[in-house]
Each structure stands twice: as C-alpha cells, then as structure tokens.
Amino acid sequence: MSLILHIETATQVCSAALSRDGVLLAEAVAETEMSHASTLMPLIDELFKKQNILKEDLSAVSVSSGPGSYTGLRIGVSTAKGICYSLGIPLIAVGSLHSAASAMKEISNATGTDLLIPLIDARRMEAFAAIFDASLNELREPHPWILDHSSLDEFSDRNIFLAGTGADKLKALYSSFSNVVFLNENVHRAAFATGIAYKKFQDSAFENTAYFEPDYGKDFVPGKPVIKGLK
C-alpha cells in the first residue's frame, strides 16, 4: 500500500493532492494566484484533515520538478523536502510538462499520430514546452520555445493538442487551424501527477532528497526547437 502526497507549484496557482496506490483520494487548489508561500502548507494540512489521514502515514512525496516559476518551484521543492526529511520517506520528482501531458491525454481524445504539447508561460512570446505522442512517449524533452506564426508548421499533417499557461500565446495564430485543438482546462494540477508518481514509487525511482534541485528552465536559448525522430 502506498500513500503519496503530490505538490504542484510550477505555475501561478499551486495545488496539492493525496493518492493511494495510484488512485486519487482528494485534491486542493489555491484560490489565489502566486500565493504559494502562504497557502501551500494550509492546503496540505486541510487535505489530511478532511481525509482523516495522518502525515505519518505517508509513503512518499511527489513534487513538480519544472520547468516553471522559479519562486513556485523553490517553495514546492523546499516544502516537499521538509516533509520527506521529517518523516524519513522518499522524494519523487514529476516533470511539470509530463504531468500536464498526462492531463491532456485524460481530457482529450488523442490517438494514433496525434501530438500533445503542454506549454508553461515563460513571459513575452516564450514558453517552456515538451512534445508527447498520444501514448505519452516523450518525443521532445522540455525546452524553451519562442512562439511565432511558424511554430507548428512542421506538424501540419498531424492533429495537435495544446494546453497550459503558455498555450494562449498561440491562439491568435492558430485558433482557425483545423488540426490544432486548444484544451482550456487547467492541466497544471497536482491530481494529474498521481499515475506518474505511483509508477516511480513502484520502480523505486526516488531522488536524493539532500541534493535534488528542480529544473528552472534557466538555460534559455532563443529560437525554434529542432525536433527529430517524429514519424
């Protein structure tokens, strides 16, 4: 039996969730944007209280590992580390875009050669993005992307699903394209990390709690991504 706490702080709105053996028990989402420092622990405490579960019952903590908000990720990882240290339990890292892609797979009807592209706002016409196929295989690892009218041209023969806090930047450019679908749901939620985290728990794919650092997406190299190996 595994009881995992999930923490998501990569974007403006933080959230926390509890799952048992990969099944979501409950989730709490902050009502105020950019309030991670003041709301994250109360969210977590409320989760345990409502589920009548003790923190001591936890098997592990999963946390969004980026890319995303520098401040948000620092708060999330620091909180996760503190809980892991105090309880002597393992830390699990879940990529922010991987978790978002999992949400997109659940929400959309993506199949076959369809592509899932989650995007996290990186200011101006920039976003952090990754590309997944309909089976959630990562075709392009998380990368910084300057968005323009030609960003999706090489995928004109595929159905493309876009979502996340950075997706709106492409709406004005691609909203009329028949092969481009924008998903409006919030895909940056702790609940969507449950399946990924549970698989890592089963595989004992844990992080070194002392030395783990999130991917802030600092190494920003302007330009369009070169995506290879798409068939």
Tens digits of pLDDT across the chain (231 residues): 899 999 999 998 999 999 999 999 999 998 776 677 788 999 999 999 999 999 999 999 999 999 999 999 999 999 999 999 999 999 999 999 999 999 999 999 899 999 999 999 998 889 999 999 999 999 999 999 998 888 888 888 999 999 999 999 888 788 778 899 999 999 999 999 999 999 999 999 999 999 999 998 755 444 444 444 454
Which helix (H) or strand (E) is 40 found in, with range? helix 36-51
Q: Nearest CA to 189 among 64, 93, 36? A: 64
The domains located in the chain, with CATH, are: 3-95+188-202 (3.30.420.40), 97-182 (3.30.420.40)
Nearest-angstrom CA–CA distance, 123 and 178: 27
How far apart, in whole angstroms, are the C-alpha atoms of residue 199 and residue 25? 17
Return d(Cα 172, Cα 113) in angstroms, integer: 25
